[in-house]
Chains A and B, each alone.
Chain A
Amino acid sequence: MTTKLFGEPVRRREDARLITGQGRYLDDLGAGALAAAFVRSPHAHARIVDIDVSAALDVEGLVAIYTWEDLPGALAEPLPLLIPHPALTHGRTAYPLAREIVRHVGEPVVMVVARDRYLAEDACALIRVDYEILKPVVGVEEAVRGVHLVHEDVPGNVGAHLVQEVPGPAGQTAWEAIDAAPHRLEFRLDVERSASMPLEGKGVYARWDADDESLRVYSSTQTSTSVRMAIAAKLGLPLPKVEVIAPDVGGGFGVKIMHPWPEEVLVPWAARQLNHEVKWTEDRREHFVSSSHERGQVQHVRVGFDDDGRVLGLEVEILHDHGAYTPYGIIVPIITSTQLLGPYKVGAYRVEFSSVYTNTVQVTPYRGAGRPQGVFCMERTMDKIAAYLGKDRTEVRAANFIQPDEFPYDQGLTFQDGRPLIYDSGDYPEALRMLKELIGWDSFPEEKARAAAEGRRIGIGVGCYVEGTGVGPYEGGHVQITSDGRVHVSTGLTSQGQGHETVFAQIAATELGVPIEKVSVVTGDTRRFGYAVGTFASRAAVMSGNAIALACRKVREKALRIAAEALEADPRDLEITDGMVHVSGVPSASIPLATVAVLSNPLRYAFDEEARRATQFAGPASDDRPPVAEGEEPGLEGRDYYSPIRSTFAAGMHAAIVETDPDTAEIKILRYAVVHDCGRLINPMIVEGQIHGGVAQGVGGALYEKMVYDEHGQLLNASFMDFLMPYATEVPRVETAHLETPSPLNPLGIKGAGEAGVIPVSAVVASAIEDAEGIPIDRMPISPSDLHALRQAR
């Protein structure tokens, strides 16, 4: 039996090419392409007075220079606002090339195409843009003062304002509940900006076929299907004439779900204009100043609670910095506001956010997408309640948990997908029990005392989260079995390291009863599958995994029907094992799937051995039936879609032990423990890998990473030298334990896992540092000098 692969730590099928240098990433393609480069704004806010390209014209190898004035039709319009929302009353997006005003350092102003990138950059350096400098707006608090405006027609710099309220059990408002509560606390929290920062930047490579009037575009994207639609619309091309392919992608983490990036429409347009392949590969500095950031928020919290630490009312006011534009709508603050509640029942809840413009790079989702901020808020609140009451922090959390028998649990809010925020399943008390055991929570006080006796300062912290995963609206899968017995699986969403080629093959092999070696998987190629949403929101396994399973079931059913006829058996008595359809218990009465594939097509030219052999199974054609019966299709293939009624909710709890140096204020994470529940696991090895990587990014966000803007809107740390991403020396070993509460919402019972690792890390590390130091930690990240300053201020 080779076919029970679901749930096994199957080795990755993508690795063979990636470890030998045979991967094909964006910049590995298009050896003969011209290179594009961009002149980008050096100012955070300025009016373009004049663009003088004359000095650049002599550059050897120069092919073309384009400014906004050159852009035709829809290309000259602002880029789309992907996710409108009624609360986003003042949504604004950028032009592909700046028109009149630039609103952040890095905004593209001129596109240059030349024979190679060096020459294109030479030309860029010679183009003179005269700017009239305008007052920049930097920082959310500066923005809401509204003295200077990022967009002239957006008063107070407020793009969106949204209030969501859930009354308490007796119908009281959050304000009433807080005022009536036995205890109250009020505080402010700050979370800095960070960014996805995949090791491969963005990139676009376009080939225009003049004979065929068609366009093929490769983009390092998390959504090839939507990039395709955007290009067709912006270039005025019929959709079937545009194909978009995501090749191997060197990490995404959210930034590549944003689309279309200016370059994704400009490069294909230039390729068509010039009737020559054109490629643009983002460099690291460009990535820092022109690709999205995330996280930055200021939160004001008021909470009322009883003697047991049970929250009776919670009010959170969020100032969210969305940067210069809002192409991705207000998904991030919506997620913060809703996922903030985590595994808890908080009585009455009121959350209000203002999403404001600043003259900085736009903010769109980065792994976690607003959840780390929300969890930071809720978990800091729990710790503060515990400290106030002198209770154990885990006890306060437990007092607020939704209980296992309360699912499905309706939080009374509207989630990011516009659907009610109803948790499908979970077991939070058990997760906490497992976590405490894993980290040794109950014996920590002795450990701490022992360390103190040696002059060492250690602390323990905890953080819990619930993550809505697998948001709709849908994904699809296509499965075809060909006459050589191979199984070809495709789905529209893309891959950036999640091992989809492996996990989707596991699903297909399990569903169809074929050896995994026979299965190949293609993702993110619109030539193979045209309808998809994309890879984000921990949705790929849930959405495409289930769609592929459903498509396989269709194919399986058809295969059994055809085989039953050939074997003169009842389809219900048939099984598929190792690629052979056979009568249960009678292995000799069998027919290979390859042969079934031949039989499924009444056109049987004997191109191969299988087709020749198949004739022995083919029954006589019936004169009163068409060769392809009504409702049938030739071929052994099937397509299906999975569209869930709402998201499925994964959960997890993390704990850490940190040590802080009494003299240098250095912070070291000694241990890091994770209990994780993403429903049924398709491949535990891959899920663990996702958690490790997420935690590492979380550690970056907790201790190191921030975007340092000065008051002029200059990003001061736009390089890997100055933006401190963790190396191996900064990341603790992650100890994991899995809890599996299957989702009742989908056929495979799975929940998403991609973002989980990153979500609670800032909260956990803050909790642990606070425990070690006895100083409230209300702002992340925290560096040794920040901690030193906090010690001084005590």
Chain B
Amino acid sequence: MNETRHHVTLTVNGVVREATVPGRRLLSDCLRHDLGLTGTHVGCEHGVCGACTVLLDGEPVRSCLTLAVTADGHEITTVEGLARDGEPSPVQRAFAECHALQCGFCTPGFLCTLTAFLRDNPAPTEEEALEAVAGNLCRCTGYQNILKAVHRAAELQAEEGGA
């Protein structure tokens, strides 16, 4: 019972990476266990919690609902790739400043989701910010400081002259 394996080439955080995976291998497992990028977390493996969110060609996707083979040839950004020149990004800094994380397990998913969101909507209203985070679960923070961090990140991003 040997499974057919597929060769995939992904550009992850700007670096070309290769892996040989069975067709059923989830992108989350491929990133975490084949490529050693364990910053992407898995909270449910059924697409509800959002912890596994990464950017696929710039758009947030749930890596637990994506097969690694379907990502072949695409660009992926994970939490490890959000910092620029070793400096945490505005969204990352805002999370630390606003105490928007406790255990930190959900955090990579929020950070990826919000990075894309604030790129497309650099000055969100309260309601837009709420909607942006409403697809991710956090069991620790009660979300209040995460919402605060969305606005703070928008400010920091603006100070830096946009995305």
Given contacts A22-B39, A28-B32, contact A692 B145 (CB under 8 A): yes
Inter-chain contact B143/A18, CB cutoff 8 Å: no
Interface positions, chain B 129-161, Cβ under 8 Å from A, are 130-131, 133-147
Q: Which residue of chain A is the closest to B132 with respect to CB atoms?
A: A728
Give Cα A16–Cα B83 distance, bound, in whole angstroms.
Answer: 11
Given contacts A118-B22, A720-B137, contact A250 B104 (CB under 8 A): yes
How far in angstroms is the closest Cβ of chain B from A621?
A: 49
Inter-chain contact A19/B147, CB cutoff 8 Å: no
Inter-chain contact A693/B139, CB cutoff 8 Å: yes
Inter-chain contact A20/B79, CB cutoff 8 Å: yes
Inter-chain contact A18/B107, CB cutoff 8 Å: yes
Interface centre among B40, B80, B141 (most CB of A within 10 A): B141
Inter-chain contact A727/B134, CB cutoff 8 Å: yes
Q: Does B96 contact A (CB under 8 A)?
A: yes
> What mask results when residues 3 to 24 of chain B are scored 1 for a CB within 8 Å of chain A, else 0?
1000000000000000000101
Given contacts A18-B101, A198-B103, contact A729 B134 (CB under 8 A): yes
**A7-15, A39-47, A259-267, A783-791: which lies at the B interface?**
A7-15
Q: B42 — which chain A residues lie within 8 A by C-beta?
A: 27
Inter-chain contact A20/B99, CB cutoff 8 Å: no
Given contacts A728-B130, A728-B147, contact A19 B105 (CB under 8 A): no
Q: B63 — which chain A residues lie within 8 A by C-beta?
A: none
**A337-345, A491-499, A592-600: which lies at the B interface?**
A491-499
Q: Does B49 contact A (CB under 8 A)?
A: yes
Partner of A692, one of B41, B49, B142: B142
Give Cα A198–Cα B24 distance, bound, in whole angstroms.
Answer: 27
Interface centre among A14, A251, A694 (most CB of B within 10 A): A251
Q: Does A73 contact B (CB under 8 A)?
A: no
Given contacts A727-B136, A728-B146, A731-B144, contact A118 B25 (CB under 8 A): yes
Q: B49 — which chain A residues lie within 8 A by C-beta?
A: 199, 720
Given contacts A251-B103, A725-B139, contact A11 B96 (CB under 8 A): yes
Q: Which residue of chain A is the closest to B78 with respect to CB atoms?
A: A21
Q: A253 — which chain B residues lie within 8 A by C-beta?
A: 139
How far in angstroms is the closest Cβ of chain A from B127?
A: 10
Give Cα A496–Cα B88 distance, bound, in whole angstroms.
Answer: 23
Q: A727 — which chain B residues lie within 8 A by C-beta?
A: 133-137, 143
Q: A251 — which chain B residues lie within 8 A by C-beta?
A: 102-103, 105, 139-140
Q: A31 — which chain B residues lie within 8 A by C-beta?
A: 33, 36
Interface positions, chain B 19-62, Cβ under 8 Å from A, are 22, 24-25, 32-33, 36-46, 48-49, 51
Q: B130 — which chain A residues lie within 8 A by C-beta?
A: 728-729
Give Cα A693–Cα B105 distance, bound, in whole angstroms.
Answer: 14
Inter-chain contact A21/B79, CB cutoff 8 Å: yes
The A contact surface, by secondary structure, is loop
Partner of A199, one of B133, B138, B142: B138
The B contact surface, by secondary structure, is loop
How far in angstroms is the closest Cβ of chain A from B137?
A: 6
Give Cα A283–Cα B106 distance, bound, in whole angstroms.
Answer: 15
Inter-chain contact A731/B140, CB cutoff 8 Å: no
Inter-chain contact B43/A199, CB cutoff 8 Å: yes
Inter-chain contact B48/A496, CB cutoff 8 Å: no
Give Cα A688–Cα B100 distance, bound, in whole angstroms.
Answer: 11
How far in angstroms is the closest Cβ of chain A from B63?
A: 13
Give Cα A6–Cα B99 distance, bound, in whole angstroms.
Answer: 18
Give Cα A24–Cα B22 distance, bound, in whole angstroms.
Answer: 26
Inter-chain contact B142/A719, CB cutoff 8 Å: no
Q: A715 — which chain B residues lie within 8 A by C-beta?
A: none
Inter-chain contact A689/B145, CB cutoff 8 Å: yes
Given contacts A21-B78, A720-B46, contact A733 B41 (CB under 8 A): no
Q: Does A697 contact B (CB under 8 A)?
A: yes
Q: Does A696 contact B (CB under 8 A)?
A: yes
Q: A14 — which chain B residues lie within 8 A by C-beta?
A: 104
Q: Does B76 contact A (CB under 8 A)?
A: no
Give Cα A757–Cα B139 distance, bound, in whole angstroms.
Answer: 13
Give Cα A685–Cα B101 distance, bound, in whole angstroms.
Answer: 12
Give Cα A251–Cα B102 distance, bound, in whole angstroms.
Answer: 8
Q: Does B68 contact A (CB under 8 A)?
A: no
How far in angstroms is the closest Cβ of chain A from B41?
A: 7
Inter-chain contact B41/A250, CB cutoff 8 Å: yes
Q: Does A576 contact B (CB under 8 A)?
A: no
Q: Which residue of chain B is the closest to A62 with respect to CB atoms?
A: B1
Give Cα A498–Cα B141 distance, bound, in whole angstroms.
Answer: 10
Inter-chain contact B39/A23, CB cutoff 8 Å: yes
Q: Which residue of chain B is the closest to A685 with respect to CB atoms?
A: B99
Inter-chain contact B99/A12, CB cutoff 8 Å: yes
Inter-chain contact B44/A25, CB cutoff 8 Å: no
Given contacts A11-B96, A20-B83, A693-B142, contact A200 B2 (CB under 8 A): no
Inter-chain contact A693/B141, CB cutoff 8 Å: yes
Q: Does A4 contact B (CB under 8 A)?
A: no
Inter-chain contact B143/A200, CB cutoff 8 Å: no
Q: A60 — which chain B residues lie within 8 A by C-beta?
A: 1-3
Q: Using a CB–CB distance below 8 Å, which chain A residues touch chain B?
A: 11-12, 14-16, 18-25, 27-28, 31, 58-60, 116, 118, 122, 197-200, 248-251, 253, 283-284, 496-499, 685-686, 688-690, 692-697, 719-721, 725, 727-729, 731, 733-734, 757
Can you list 14 contacts pairing A with B, beta carbon distance less than 8 Å? A11-B99, A15-B104, A21-B108, A23-B105, A24-B38, A31-B33, A197-B139, A250-B106, A497-B104, A689-B141, A690-B102, A693-B102, A729-B134, A757-B142
